[in-house]
Amino acid sequence: MSTTEKTTENAQLKDIISHAKEYGFVFPSSEIYDGLQAVYDYGQNGVELKNNLKTLWWKCMTQLHQNVVGIDAAIFMHPLTWKASGHIDSFNDPMIDNLDSKKRYRADVLLEDKAAEYEKAGDVSKAQALLKEMGRLLEAEDLKAVQQLIISENIKCPVSGTSNWTEVRQFNLMFSTQVGSVAEDSSTIYLRPETAQGIFVNFLNVQKSGRMKVPFGIAQIGKAFRNEIVARQFIFRMREFEQMEMQFFVRPGTEGEWYENWKAWRKNWHLALGVPTEKLRFHDHDKLAHYAKAAVDIEFEFPFGFKEVEGIHSRSDFDLTQHQNLSRKKQQYFDNDLNEDGKPYGNYVPYVVETSVGADRLFLMTLCNAYQEEEITEGDNTKTRTFLKFHPAIAPIKAAVFPLVKKDGLPEKAMQIFDDLKFDFKMIYEERDAIGKRYTRQDLIGTPFCIAVDYETLENDTVTVRERDTREQKRMHISELRQYIGDAVSFKRIFEKL
C-alpha cells in the first residue's frame, strides 16, 4: 500500500469518527478526563442504531428460526467455566514491543498487515505463504521463530521506524476481579471474554425446559471484555464490547453441513442489510483457535482494509465435553430419532456450530457503508452533500416532521402528525432554522423521510415527503403516511431477503 493510499484511507476513517462524534453516534468514554483507551459510549443516535441492529439480529435468529431460542446469561460466571473453556490456559495473544518507541503490538497483526501489503501489491502467493507460515509457527507456539519472521520480513515499527524488537510473549486477555466482601474470602473471577460459555453451561437447562430437539440453537446478546494489547481503529477493537452469538447444537457427523448452511445464511444476512457483495468476503482461518475444527471469518472492507466482522466456527463437542469433565455433570442428549439400522441414535454430546458477530463491529461496518458524500449542483453552485444511507429499517430516526414556518397554525398541524405517528415510529419534530438546513441535519443522521407541512396542508391535508437518498419530494395525504413509512422501515423488508 502506498503512503498516499494509506493517508486517504486514514482520512476516510477520521471523517467517519468525527462524524460519529459530531452527530451523536459514538463518544470517547469519559471524555472530559481525556477518555479511556479502547472504550466508547454510544450517543443519542448511536444507541438507536445499535439497538436496531441488535433487535434485527435477535429477530432473525430467534423469530425466523423456530428451533433457535434466546437466553440472557450473567457476565460473571463460576471461575471453573474459564478453566474448562481453555481461556485461562490459552486465551493469549502474542505481543511484541518496539524498544525505541516503547509501543506494543500484536505479533500476528504485524505479520497480517505485511501480508495485506503483499496482496495489495499483487503478490497474492507471497501473502498466502506468509500467513501460512505465521499460522504454523503460532500453532506450534514457536514464539522465537515468530520474532525471527518479523525481523526477516523487515517489519518496522510505524512510530519509531526501527526493527528494534523485543522477544514475542504471550499475554492473557481476560480481565479479572475479586468477589467476596473481605480480602480473605475473596476469590478471583473473570469478566467474560465471550458470551458463548453462558450458552454452553445452560445447554441442558434450555434443552429440558424448552423440550428442544437437536438440531437447535441458543442465541445471546451481551457484553464481553478483553484486555486487547493494541487498541486502535475506533470501535473495531474495544476492551468492552458486545457480542451476538448463537450456538447451534447438532448430531455428530452433521456439523459440516450445518457449518456450510450457517456460513451462507450469515453472509446473506449482511447482504440483506445493504452491504454490497464486493465489500464482503470469506476468509478461512490460518490459525485455528484451541476449540475449533473449522473456522471462517466474514470480512468487510473497512477504510483500513478487509477485516473480520463475524466468525463462524465448528467447535465440535469440545466445550460441552470440557464442562462435563470439570463439573462432573453429564452434558448429553438422548436422540430418539432412528439411524440407518432402525435404532435410536441414543445418548451423545452434541457438536456445535457457532456464529459470532460483534455488535460494535457491525455498527462500524454499517456506519462506514452508509457514509456517502455526493456532489450536488444547484444553479451555479456545486456542493458536497454528506448523508448516511442506512437501510430504513435500522435508521435511528424513521421520519422528521417540519412545519414550513413557525406561524399560522403550521406548527400545530405538524405536531398533530408527529403525535399520531410517534406510536409507530421513532420520530423527530423540528421547527428551527430554514427548511433546507433541517433537511441537511436529517441527512447527516440518516433519517429516511422528512415530512413538510405547508399552507396547502391546511387546505387539503396533504404534505410533502422528501426521500433522503434521492432528495425527491412527493405529495401525499396525511392518512397515507403510516402505511408509506411503515412499509419502508419494516424489518420485513430485510426478513424477506433471507
Give me the residues that bind ligand ATP (CB under 6 A), please: 194, 226, 228, 237-238, 241, 243, 308-311, 356-358, 360-361
Smallest gap, in angstroms, from Cβ of residue 357 to ligand ATP? 5
Nearest distance from residue 266's CB to ligand ATP, in Å? 11
Instruction: Report, in Å, the least distance between residue 354 CB and ligand ATP.
Output: 9
Burial of 412 (0-12, 13-18, 19+ CB in 10 A): exposed
Q: Please, which residue, 247 or 356, has the CB nearer to ligand ATP? A: 356
Closest separation between CB of residue 312 and ligand ATP, Å? 9
Give whichever of 248 and 439 is closer to ligand ATP, judged by the CB atom. 248
Pairing of strands 371-378, 280-284: unpaired
Cell of 156: 518496522
From the CB of 55, what's the least distance to ligand ATP, in Å?
Answer: 18
Q: Smallest distance from the beta carbon of 442 to ligand ATP, in angstroms? A: 29
Q: Decide whether 150 or 357 has the Cβ nearer to ligand ATP.
A: 357
Handedness of CA 288, 291, 294, 297 (dihedral sign): negative
Q: Measure Cα distances from 474 to 135, 144, 434, 486 in Å.
A: 57, 67, 20, 16
Return the number of other C-beta atoms located less than 10 Å from residue 61's C-beta: 25
354 is annotated as contributing to ligand binding? yes
- 466 labelled as ligand-binding? no
Residue 168: half-sphere exposure toward Cβ, Cα within 13 Å: 24
Name which of 356 and 447 has its Cβ closer to ligand ATP.
356
Q: Is 185 annotated as a binding residue?
A: no
Q: Is 174 annotated as a binding residue?
A: no
- Does 355 show up as a binding residue in the annotation? yes
Sequence-ordered strand ranges (E) for 226-266: 240-250
Query: What whole-number distance in Å separates Cα of residue 168 and Cα of residue 147?
Result: 6
Residues 341 and 320: their CA atoms lie apart, in Å, by 27
Which residue number, 123 or 240, has a Cβ lying nearer to ligand ATP? Answer: 240
Q: What is the rounded distance in angstroms from the CA atom of residue 310 to the CA atom of residue 64?
A: 20
Establish whether 361 is an annotated binding residue.
yes
- Cα 450 to Cα 427: distance, rounded to the nearest angstrom: 10
Cell of 463: 404534505
Q: How far apart are alpha carbons 389 and 274 in whole angstroms?
A: 9
The answer to the question of whether 358 is labelled as a binding residue is yes
Q: Which is nearer to ligand ATP, 239 or 398 (CB)?
A: 239
- Least spacing, CB of residue 343 vs ligand ATP, in Å: 38
Three cell numbers at 62? 430467534
Q: Determine if residue 496 is labeled as part of a ligand binding site.
A: no
Running DSSP on this structure, what letter comes out for residue 350?
P
In the complex with ligand ATP, the residue whose CB is nearer, 241 or 402, is 241
Q: Is 106 annotated as a binding residue?
A: yes
Q: Find the residue with minimal CB distance to ligand ATP.
A: 358
Annotated binding-site residue numbers for ATP:
226-228, 236-241, 308-309, 358-361
Q: Would you list which residues are annotated within the binding site for substrate?
A: 106, 194, 241-245, 354-358
Give the annotated binding-site residues: 106, 194, 226-228, 236-245, 308-309, 354-361
